[in-house]
Structure formats: C-alpha cells, structure tokens
Amino acid sequence: MIHLQNATFVRSAAKKEDFPRDGLAQIVFSGRSNVGKSSVINRILNRKNFARVGNSPGKTTHINYFKIDGRFYLVDLPGYGYARVSQAERARWGRLIESWFADPSLMSLGCMLVDARHAPTADDCTMGQWFKQSGKPFLVVANKLDKLKKSEIDPNLQRIRDTLEIDDSIKIIPFSAEKGTGRQELLGEIAAHLGEGLI
C-alpha cells in the first residue's frame, strides 16, 4: 500500500552513474521552470516544503530522487526553459536527460507538467517526444488550473493535446497545486501504474 507518509530525499544525480538502479519503480516528473513542479510534488505528498518551491536557475543539471514509502522513487527531472541559462548548461541538461531516457526501463509512469494557461512551448514538445519515444506510459498534468476561467478550460486542454500531438489514450489531468484540484486523479494513476492500492 502507498500511504505517502514516508518521503525521503535520496540523492541529486548529475550523471548516469548516480542514477539508482535497484529495481524500485520510478514515477517521473518533468516540466518547464516555474510551471509549478515543486508545488505539484509538495501537493501530492501533502508537504509544504519538501521539493523546494521557487528553485533558482542553475539547478538545471540535477535529477532529484525521492523515495516514497520505500515502494517507489519519485524522480524530479530538472526544469527547462530558463531564460537566463548558458548554451553550455542547456547542452548539459540535454545530455543528462538523454542519458536518463537511454534506459527508461524502470519508469512506471511519466508525469509531464505543462501550464494550463498556455499552449505548450517548443521545449514542452521536445519533452513530449522523449516520453513518447520511451514507450512507457505517461500523462500530462495541466497545472495552474485555478488561473483559468471555466470557459477556458476545455479549449485550453484541447490546445495542449493538439500542440503536443498526443492522442486520446494519453490522459491530461487538470491540476491546481494551489487548490489541490486533480490530486486524487493523479494519485489514482500513480497507484494504478505501480499496481498498488492507495490508502
């Protein structure tokens, strides 16, 4: 059973030798900087300051691994799309992500975060390609839903689907880290892909 009571930081990996490969399942989170990835992770775990909110640029080259209930890793891929990041650092980010996706065998589910307000960026589309090519299940979390008017929700979700070029088999979960919207649905997906129950 997953009860999300026990969440520990395991390590920050900057190269593939540091990726844990102990066979534990991995739930993977990606997203552009400022999309609310830290806030979403905190919301999922019901913590305030577990994953740091407002991470500064420069933290783009580490993959953070958290162990949850001793049952799976929550993998926090480094944010992308920082405006003020050097070409060299962008390239490092690319190499790190490439080496991570070189063997996605341990990935149970990819959770790709986008901003519910906007069309996905070119970087988001590139990330989408990584997930598609992994051949593993993934879903899209459209965060900051609370910033949308009701009438904007459906068209925006459709625009996200169209821009990322994903078919109906890929779920888009409307989410608000601020309000908690979508938390149960996302947890249900995570549990289903781990083959576990949730308390």
196 backbone dihedrals φ, ψ, rounded to 5°: -125, 165
Cβ-based burial of 143 (10 A; exposed 0-12, middle 13-18, buried ≥19): buried
Q: Please, which residue, 83 or 199, has the CB nearer to ligand GDP?
A: 83
Least separation in angstroms between residue 136's CB and ligand GDP is 22
Give residues in contact with ligand GDP (CB under 6 A). Answer: 31, 33-39, 53-55, 79, 143-144, 146-147, 176-178
Q: Which residue is nearest to ligand GDP (CB)?
A: 36
Least separation in angstroms between residue 93's CB and ligand GDP is 14
Least separation in angstroms between residue 103's CB and ligand GDP is 25
* 117: its two tokens: 């307000």
Least separation in angstroms between residue 9's CB and ligand GDP is 15
Q: Please, which residue, 141 or 166, has the CB nearer to ligand GDP?
A: 141
Least separation in angstroms between residue 169's CB and ligand GDP is 25
Please name the amino acid found at residue 125: C
Q: Please, which residue, 37 or 194, has the CB nearer to ligand GDP?
A: 37
CB 198 within 8 A of CB 69: no
Q: Please, which residue, 1 or 149, has the CB nearer to ligand GDP?
A: 149
Q: Please, which residue, 4 or 53, has the CB nearer to ligand GDP?
A: 53
